[in-house]
C-alpha cells in the first residue's frame, strides 16, 4: 500500500503522530546568555505548532562543557545542562504542543565545536587533542571520568525533557558534534576503550543511547519517543572519518536498543546516494531497519509533491526544514487538503508572516550571504 502524507504513524512504544511530516531541529539563533529561551524563541515555536505532526526542537547541550556551539556575537545555542533550564524547555514544549502535535527535544554535546565556550575563554573538550586547522582555539582530550559524566548528563537531560512535558528526545549523533566525533577515525585517535577499532569508536554513542534508555524506562511515560540523528558518512576528499558501510554498522547496534526512529542528516536531499554506493541512503537503511524502527530523511522538500515522493520511495517520514521556515503551516495545509496553498519560497512579503527570530532574520538577510542552506528566492530578502 502506498504511503500517504496524511497517514497516522505509530511508533514502537505506542506514540502516534497524525501525519508523516516532521519539522527537523534547526538553530533559531535566539538563546539568551546561559542557553535560555527568549521571547523570540517562544514566538518562533508558537508559530510552528502545526508545521508537522512531530516537531523536533533545536539542539540543547547537555553538559556545561558541551556548548554553546554558536560563535560570539550571535544569540546563544539553547542549553539543558542544569535544572535552571527547566522553565525554558517547559515553555518551548507548551508552545509546540498546544495544537496536539508531538514535540521532541534534541539533546547534544558539542565536543570540539563548542566555539562559544572557547570565546568565553574556557577550555574545549574533544575525544582527542588534535590541532584542527579549521578551529582557531585548542581542544583538550577528555578524561575517562569526564566521558562517563557526559554520558550521565545525557540521562539527566532526558529526565528534564520528561519533566518539561516533551513527548520524546532525539540524540544528536550528526553534523560533526560530540557523538560523531567519537565515531570518526579523523577526530577520535584514542587508544583506550573509547577509541581505536570501529567497535571501540561505537562505544561512546552506544553508551549514551543506553543511558537515555535507562532514564526513559525509569521516568517516562510508556509511549515516550526516542530517536537518533546520524550523518551516515564522513568523507572530506581523501580524508575519511567513516564510510556509509561503517555508518550502517553503528546504526545496526543502535537499532538493537529498540529505539523509535533513525533520522538521517542529508545535506543534498532525501534521495542522496552515498560515496561509492549504488542506491540511496534511504534504501540502504530500510534494508537494516526492523519493522518497528521508523526512518526519517531530511532535505530539499518545499512542497507537497516533493514530500509525497520522499515517503513513497525513500522513507517512512519526511523532515521538512527550510520548507517550514518559509511556511510555518506546511503540515497543517497538507492535513487539511490544502497542500496546493503552501508557500514554497521566501519573499519580502512572506518574511513578515514567518515569525522568524531576529537572529534568523539577521543570518538570512545579510548581504554577504550565509553558510546555511539557501532558501528559494533567498536573494529577494537580502
**Residues catalogued as catalytic:** 177
Judge contact between 86 and 160, C-beta under 8 A: yes
Calpha distance 15→23 (Å, rounded)? 17
Closest Cα to residue 364, out of 39, 74, 35, 105? 74
Calpha distance 235→89 (Å, rounded)? 35
Calpha distance 254→231 (Å, rounded)? 14
Judge contact between 103 and 167, C-beta under 8 A: yes
Amino acid at each position: 500500500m502506498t504511503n500517504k502524507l496524511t497517514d497516522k504513524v505509530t511508533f514502537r512504544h505506542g506514540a502516534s503522530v497524525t501525519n508523516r511530516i516532521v519539522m527537523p531541529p534547526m538553530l533559531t539563533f535566539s538563546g539568551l546568555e546561559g542557553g535560555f529561551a527568549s521571547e523570540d524563541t517562544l514566538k518562533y515555536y508558537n508559530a510552528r505548532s502545526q508545521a508537522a505532526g512531530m516537531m523536533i526542537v533545536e539542539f540543547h547541550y547537555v553538559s556545561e562543557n558541551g556548548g554553546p556551539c554558536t560563535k560570539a556575537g550571535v544569540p546563544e545555542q539553547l542549553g539543558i545542562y542544569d535544572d535552571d533550564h527547566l522553565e525554558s524547555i517547559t515553555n518551548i514544549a507548551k508552545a509546540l504542543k498546544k495544537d496536539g502535535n508531538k514535540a521532541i527535544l534534541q539533546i547534544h554535546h558539542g565536543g570540539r565545536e563548542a566555539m562559544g565556550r572557547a570565546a568565553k575563554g574556557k577550555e574545549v573538550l574533544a575525544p582527542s587533542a588534535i590541532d584542527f586547522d579549521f578551529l582557531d582555539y585548542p581542544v583538550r582530550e577528555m578524561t575517562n571520568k569526564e566521558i562517563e559524566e557526559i554520558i550521565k548528563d545525557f540521562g539527566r537531560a532526558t529526565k528534564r525533557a520528561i519533566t518539561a512535558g516533551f513527548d520524546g528526545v532525539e540524540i544528536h549523533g550528526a553534523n560533526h558534534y560530540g557523538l560523531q566525533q567519537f565515531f570518526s577515525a579523523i577526530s577520535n585517535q584514542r587508544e583506550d576503550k573509547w577509541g581505536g577499532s570501529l567497535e571501540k569508536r561505537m562505544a561512546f554513542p552506544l553508551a549514551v543511547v543506553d543511558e537515555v534508555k535507562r532514564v526513559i524506562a525509569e521516568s517516562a511515560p510508556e509511549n515516550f519517543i526516542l530517536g537518533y540523528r546520524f550523518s551516515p558518512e564522513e568523507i572530506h576528499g581523501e580524508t575519511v572519518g567513516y564510510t556509509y558501510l561503517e555508518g550502517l554498522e553503528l546504526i545496526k547496534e543502535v537499532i538493537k536498543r529498540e529505539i523509535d526512529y533513525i533520522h538521517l542528516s542529508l545535506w543534498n536531499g532525501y534521495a542522496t546516494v552515498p560515496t561509492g554506493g549504488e542506491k540511496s541512503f534511504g534504501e540502504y537503511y530500510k534494508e537494516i531497519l526492523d519493522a518497528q524502527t521508523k526512518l526519517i530523511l531530511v532535505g530539499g522538500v518545499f512542497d507537497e509533491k516533493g514530500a509525497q515522493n520522499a515517503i513513497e520511495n525513500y522513507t517512512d517520514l519526511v523532515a521538512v526544514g527550510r520548507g517550514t521556515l518559509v511556511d510555518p503551516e506546511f503540515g497543517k495545509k497538507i492535513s487539511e487538503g490544502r497542500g496546493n496553498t503552501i508557500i514554497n519560497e521566501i519573499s519580502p512579503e512572506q518574511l513578515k508572516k514567518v515569525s522568524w527570530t531576529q537572529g534568523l532574520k539577521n543570518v538570512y538577510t545579510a548581504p554577504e550571504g550565509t553558510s546555511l542552506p539557501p532558501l528559494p528566492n533567498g536573494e529577494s530578502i537580502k
